Amino acid sequence: MRNKDKFRGCLIGGAAGDALGYAVEFMSLEQIRQRYGSRGITDFVLTDGAALISDDTQMTLFTANGLLIRTTRGMGRGIAANPQDYCWYCYKAWLKTQESDFHRWKSSVKDVSKEYPWLIRVPELHSARAPGNTVLRSLRADVAGTRDNPLNSSKGCGGLMRVAPVGLYFEERDIYINRICIHGANIAALTHGHPLGYIPAAAFVYLINRITYCEQTEPELKEIVTGCIAEMNTLFQGTPHIDEFISIMEKAVELSESDMDDESAISLLGEGWVAEETLAIAIYCVLRYRDNFEKALVASVNHSGDSDSTGSVAGNLMGALHGYDRIPEKFKCNLELKDIILEIADDLCSDCTIDEYSINTEEDDRWYWKYSC
């Protein structure tokens, strides 16, 4: 059963971790502590009153937009293509937001209301927030990458950090978990062709889905993580580098149960610039601080590395686990585009009621305006 509190928690939690980490993304841990104190960064850094999100949350929103276009196409026409096709279309639109400001883009198109996904019409999203070079190069290609025909051999975390909506979107009662994971892998492979670029994305989707749709009030998180490791080992058996992925996931679980301090433990997992390290750091933080959203988020960004991505992934997981209402208010106040993020989360959780013959209500009309193409 879909739970709006978990959907909202997942996307807002991810945005909060992203915003917290974005302020220190390219700083060493020593530099972070010099600027923010011995505990590192623990509160949002505000720019003109807002905690800025990065490309991680921007692309997460465009992933959700693509999935919702797929829903609308399926409901309105009775047939829909694969999820990655709609995400590619939306990522191409996101690319436009990185290449020109809103007013210049708007003046270059004849009709802003047509031919573009809804989110491209949000002026604040026309901001370049340290987008990854691999993603930019891939989206400028004429064709999308696939697992069988990759555009590159990158295992950067840019394919992983954007796929949380996939885990929310699909319910296992409608589709088997292995299929949901493959959708995540395929969406990551649009831009990241190395197996360690898309296998972690499949695992992340598994975790989000299992946490979100667990019928238990307090899901057994370690059991979900170990189940994820086993599922990836089966699903990608024979795929190059699967053993490396399994190894670092198991190390993350082991370290989360050790007496080692966070700085030392995270340093053994890496810096998060590549996808398997990003997911491992997030898993470590979430397992160690399962009951404390703030401690998990703070640990996930205070290291030398890709702090916004590790924060975003940890925040997605903790948000899905705890729900929106249990996220501390300090991580919801002043969050850039909070209302847009909540609107996307609510739409992901809602049922589209458009059918092949008519748009029946004012709500249908609003939905169709946003998610038709």
How does pLDDT run across 284-315, given as a tens digit for each residue? 999 999 999 999 999 999 999 999 999 999 99
pLDDT at position 115 is: 65
Q: What is the mean pLDDT of residues 266-272?
A: 98
197's enclosing H/E stretch is: helix 195-213
pLDDT of 219 > 80? The answer is: no
pLDDT of 113 > 60? The answer is: no
Task: Give the chain's mean pLDDT.
Answer: 94
Nearest to 156 by CA among 135, 130, 141, 183: 135
pLDDT of 30 > 80? The answer is: yes
Confidence of residue 152 (pLDDT cuts 50, 70, 90): very high
Query: Residue 146 class from Cβ within 10 Å (0-12 exposed, 13-18 middle, 19+ buried)?
Result: middle
Rounded Cα–Cα distance for residues 23 and 25 (Å): 6
pLDDT at position 279 is: 99
Instruction: Give ∠ CA 213-69-130 in degrees, rounded to 5.
Output: 85
Pick the residue with more confidence: 106 or 230? 230
pLDDT of 172 > 80? The answer is: no
Per the CB < 8 A criterion, the answer to whether 24 and 340 are in contact is no
Q: What is the mean pLDDT of residues 194-219?
A: 93
Nearest to 305 by CA among 261, 256, 268, 270: 270
CA atoms within 13 A on the CB side of 169: 25
Rounded Cα–Cα distance for residues 302 and 332 (Å): 19
Rounded Cα–Cα distance for residues 89 and 112 (Å): 16
Nearest to 108 by CA among 291, 215, 99, 359: 99
pLDDT at position 315 is: 99
Which residues are CB-contacts of 296 (< 8 A; sequence separation ≥ 6)? 285, 286, 288, 289, 290, 314, 318
Rounded Cα–Cα distance for residues 275 and 309 (Å): 9
* Ranges 116-120, 169-173, 196-200, most confident: 196-200
pLDDT at position 114 is: 57
Topology of 4-371 in CATH? Answer: ADP-ribosylglycohydrolase fold (1.10.4080)
pTM assigned to the model: 0.97
pLDDT of 90 > 80? The answer is: yes
Per the CB < 8 A criterion, the answer to whether 164 and 184 are in contact is no
Helix (H, G, I), strand (E, B) or coil at 38: coil
Which residues are CB-contacts of 20 (< 8 A; sequence separation ≥ 6)? 41, 43, 44, 51, 297, 298, 301, 307, 311, 331
**Which residue is it, tokens 């998610």?**
371
Query: Residue 319 class from Cβ within 10 Å (0-12 exposed, 13-18 middle, 19+ buried)?
Result: buried
Confidence of residue 353 (pLDDT cuts 50, 70, 90): confident
Torsion of CA 134, 137, 139, 142, to 10 degrees: -140
pLDDT of 202 > 90? The answer is: yes
pLDDT at position 111 is: 61
Rounded Cα–Cα distance for residues 77 and 164 (Å): 26
pLDDT of 56 > 70? The answer is: yes
pLDDT of 173 > 70? The answer is: no
Rounded Cα–Cα distance for residues 8 and 345 (Å): 5
Count Cβ atoms below 10 Å from residue 136 Cβ, excluding itself.
Answer: 16
